[in-house]
Structure 1
Amino acid sequence: MSRGSAVLRRLTAVAATAALLTGMSAVAASPASAQQIVRQTTTRGCEWTTGVGQYWRVKADVTVAQIAGTSTRWIESATNARTELSGFTFGVRESNSVASATIQGGGVSVRISGSAVLNYGVPTPFGTIEWLSQPISCATTYSVY
């Protein structure tokens, strides 16, 4: 191994580490084929709304890998599946929430789904009086092609 290629390999590793630490996608050389793999992580999911400024979402962080200079892409990972309730949530509580992200077709797509129960209530000095419980769910499929 020449000294120049060892230095280049070390610089590539340092640059990839710095890119990952700053939240950028990393470019790493594959030693077997000398192809570059580019990875990018985005958040995907679906949303449910009551129409009064209240939103319930199911999300997952999806990492897509691509061989640089080609159209070859695949879903490398789907992590951190979660639910969230946002917007005007006074008197609303989420319970029994479940979220999942499953890679399908050998990395061609990912199915993100979740469910929960929204409990609507009126806060009182003695606790919240619940007057309605509504089951909710949503699902979506994200594909790289």
Structure 2
Amino acid sequence: MSLLGLSKKSDYGLAMLVMLAKRGVGEVVSTAEMVEEKELPRAFISQIAKEFIRVGIVGSKEGKGGGYFLKRDPEDIRVKEVVEAVEGKVRPAKCVHGECDRSDKCEHMRFMKRLAKDMEGVLESYSLAEVIGR
């Protein structure tokens, strides 16, 4: 996740989940509907859905009348879980999770770690239900 905002992938993922949440748990929405109503790129839908299926947020139905459906109540789905499903761990900089080759010279790593914790807390504090205004 970028420090300044959500990536396109996270944005599309949230749009997909908003559509599914508005339909209700277990209600199937086709890929064609997502493309038409939310203008989501077809290529991203299956890619993002695979990540949501992997973490148990979304299920899929194949064949006629197939598509994707929400598996859990929107109250029980945290925005942090959504973002991390498609982006990986929330972080404002690589150093937060030990991926920086400058860590021995970094003077602001402690701040970045605190910022990452705060960002995680904010994303954890919101549910998908709040995103859709419930």
User: Normalising TM by the smaller chain, what interval?
Assistant: under 0.3
Higher relative contact order (CA 8 A, sep 6+): 2
Q: Name the structure with the higher strand share.
A: 1
Q: Name the structure with the higher helix share.
A: 2
TM-score using structure 1 length: 0.23
